[in-house]
Amino acid sequence: MYILKNAWKNIMRNKGRNILMGVIILLLIAASAVALIINNTAGGIIDNYKQRFDSEVSLIPNMEKIQPVQSSSGGAFLSRMLIPEISPELYIEFGDSDYVSKAAYSSSVGIHKNDALKFIGEEKGGGGMFMIGMKINDDGNTEEDPGLYYAKLLGYNYVPEDFDSGMRQLAEGNFADLKDNECVVSREFFEINGFQIGDTITLTSTLSDRNGEVVMPGEEDTREKISISYTLKIVGYYNDLTDEYAGDFMQTAYDNRRNEIYTTINTVIEPLVDGFSGITVSAKYYLKNPGDLKAFANELYAKGLDDKFDVVTDEDSYNTIVKPIEGLKSITWIFLAIVLILGSIILMLLSSIAIRERKYEIGVLRAMGMKKHKVTLGLLSEVVTITVICLVIGLGSGIVLAQPVSDMLLDNQLKQIEDQGGNSGIMAYGPGGNVIRGAQTVGGAVRVGGIVGGNRTPAEALKEMDVNLGIPTIIEIILVSLLLAVMASMMGILHITKYEPIKILSDRN
């Protein structure tokens, strides 16, 4: 107790010198806190995305292995890239693998106009994937193509992103509890049709011979077609905060998001007929171990996956998001190292000079019988006390400064990253002849109109990073502060305690 009391008296007795040391320690702690907070936040983001993109697998067509087919209508833009079909049965079989921890399936089918139903925005007509909308009848007049769609029936075996993020919310119930042949609709669709919970609706669609010729704009559709229907029980409706239309270009009833009807994936794919398309299915697979990607790919090819597909993780999205964060992390490491090295040198010099001035005081204490380790403990206690005070102030300063410093550094990193990709002027056809517009070739694979392989939206670079102070970061800052305290004391202490008290007193000037 005497040592601590004496340490506090010494601090108050030499205010000028200790304030100077305190200011330096405070600046070092604040700078270290900023660096560690940013570094640990960046590290958490990197680990999160690394886990996601290393384990999430998609199947994308390799355009180097697919030859374009020229349309009879002519025109370079209408060159057709016929992507091989992956049947829904294969998608589901692929998910039955020892390498897969989880398989996420989604499906979609267009719904025709129905006299018994009203659709939001139906006055704008129907639509569909690259459909003309109007055709000329036998009298030479135009009439709406009966093959148009006015709604989408969507099936999932997981909670869709809009529901998971809160952009869409069920008025009651839980999306995960949805059963086969049950559906939920938007509140607008529910109200415009005067539905009641428990009502049954019938939806119709059309399947086309997938082995027939793909129909281009202006060409006659000669493919064999069969009609399918769904009888679904309405078990709820959802409130919708999403935009009614995804953009200004396509605004038909088919493109109106209030006409999206949700059910299970088993319900959507149940009417599938072998050799016919019209129901699209996509899948994402999550591996138990990211290192099993090659083995999983070999298994898929053995099960029947066409070799024109690549089994990949989303490296482009990973790099887009993570590269600026990795750069930010590297900068903070370098900054932290420089701060600690230079700061420690300054503190050691300052402490050494200060303790040399107190040589006589230490000699008296030693002559009175105080052991070396107690003298050392007293000197350390002074520096530690100053450091603890600076730690409280520096930690608060670091929290305040971390966010603006992070924003500035991240902005500089983003400016150094060049935009990649461009429109190649081709039109790709997905499984079943579905048209995918605005294709870009990226690394031999097709990136199309915001969709990679028809399944994935490319990620945007992370433009901001919300830093946070966690328990591990606090512990690290405390350890750094203690390290600074020890470094600030050791050189002087080692120098002064190597002398005997008689020599110290005899050398007094």
Which pLDDT score is estimated for 438?
34
pLDDT of residue 101: 86
3-state SS, 298-342, equals HHHHHHCCCCCEEEECCHHHHHHHHHHHHHHHHHHHHHHHHHHHH
CA-to-CA dists, residue 356 to 83, 376, 470, angstroms:
81, 14, 40
Residue 433 pLDDT class (50, 70, 90 cuts): very low
Give me the phi and psi of 399, to 5 degrees please: -65, -40
Question: 259 in helix, strand or coil?
Answer: helix
74 pLDDT higher than 80: no
Contact criterion met (CB below 8 Å) for 125 and 144: yes
pLDDT at 335: 84
Average pLDDT over residues 118-130: 82
Mean pLDDT on 237-266: 88
Mean pLDDT of 418-424: 44
- Confidence band, pLDDT 50/70/90 cuts, at residue 435: very low
Residue with tokens 């704008």: 124
pLDDT band at 132 (very low <50, low <70, confident <90, very high): very low
Give the whole-number percent of the chain exceeding pLDDT 90.
19
Higher per-residue confidence, 98 vs 65:
98
pLDDT band with cut points at 50, 70 and 90 for residue 284 = confident
The whole-number pLDDT of residue 236 equals: 92
Position 36: which residue type? L
For residue 249, what pLDDT is reported? 67
Q: What does the block give as tokens for 274?
A: 């072998």
Q: CA 430 to CA 448: how far, in whole Å?
A: 10
C-alpha 471: how far from chain center: 23
SS3 233: strand
**What is the distance between the alpha carbons of residues 94 and 341, in angstroms, rounded to a whole number?**
54
Q: What is the CA radius of gyration of the chain?
A: 35
The string of pLDDT tens digits covering residues 364-415 is: 666 777 777 777 777 777 778 888 888 888 888 888 888 888 777 777 766 7
CA distances for 84 relative to 87, 233, 309, 432, 490, angstroms: 10, 35, 8, 8, 71
Q: What per-residue string of b and e applies to 18-30 under the rule 16 or more CB within 10 Å gives b?
A: beebbebbbbbbb
> Per the structure block, which two tokens stand in for 156?
């999932």
Which amino acid is present at 475? I
Residue 300 has pLDDT above 90, yes or no: yes
Angstrom distance (rounded) from CA 381 to CA 3: 8
Q: Please determine, for residue 69, whether its predicted confidence score (pLDDT) is greater than 50.
A: yes
pLDDT confidence of residue 480:
84
Exposed / middle / buried, residue 9 (Cβ in 10 Å: 0-12, 13-18, 19+): exposed
pLDDT of residue 35: 86
Question: Which two three-digit tokens encode residue 470?
Answer: 């966690």
Mean pLDDT, range 419-443, rounded to an integer:
39
Q: What is the pLDDT of residue 182?
A: 95
The torsion angles phi and psi of 435, rounded to 5 degrees, stand at -85, 135
Q: 327 or 238, which is more confident?
A: 238
CA 14 to chain centre: 54
Residue 5 has pLDDT above 60, yes or no: yes
Answer yes or no: is pLDDT of 2 > 70.
no
Please tell me the predicted confidence (pLDDT) of residue 361.
67
CA pair distance 340, 346, nearest whole angstrom: 10
Side chain identity at residue 295, one-letter code: A
CA-to-CA dists, residue 264 to 156, 180, 255, angstroms:
5, 6, 21
- What lies within 8 Å, CB to CB, of 420 at 6+ separation is 442
Alpha helices, DSSP H, located in 79-180:
88-95, 161-165
Check whether 161 has a pLDDT greater than 80. Answer: yes
Higher pLDDT: 78 or 37? It is 37
Helix (H) or strand (E) holding 408: helix 372-415
Where is mean pLDDT largest: 52-56, 98-102, 436-440? 98-102
Q: Does residue 141 register a pLDDT over 60?
A: no
Least confident of 218-232, 275-289, 354-368, 402-416: 354-368
By the 10 Å C-beta count (0-12 exposed, 13-18 middle, 19+ buried), 223 is classed as middle
**Residue 280: band (very low, low, confident or very high) from pLDDT cuts 50, 70, 90:** confident
What's 84's DSSP letter?
A: P
Q: What is the mean pLDDT of residues 94-108?
A: 90
- For residue 488, is pLDDT > 90? no
How is the chain split among helix, strand and coil, in percent rounded to 5?
45, 20, 30
Query: pLDDT value at position 422?
Result: 42
Looking at residue 248, what is its pLDDT?
A: 63
Upper half-sphere CA count for residue 483 (Cβ side, 13 Å): 15
pTM for this entry? 0.54
318-348: pLDDT as tens digits: 666 677 777 778 888 888 888 888 887 887 7
pLDDT, tens only, 187-206 = 999 999 999 999 999 999 99
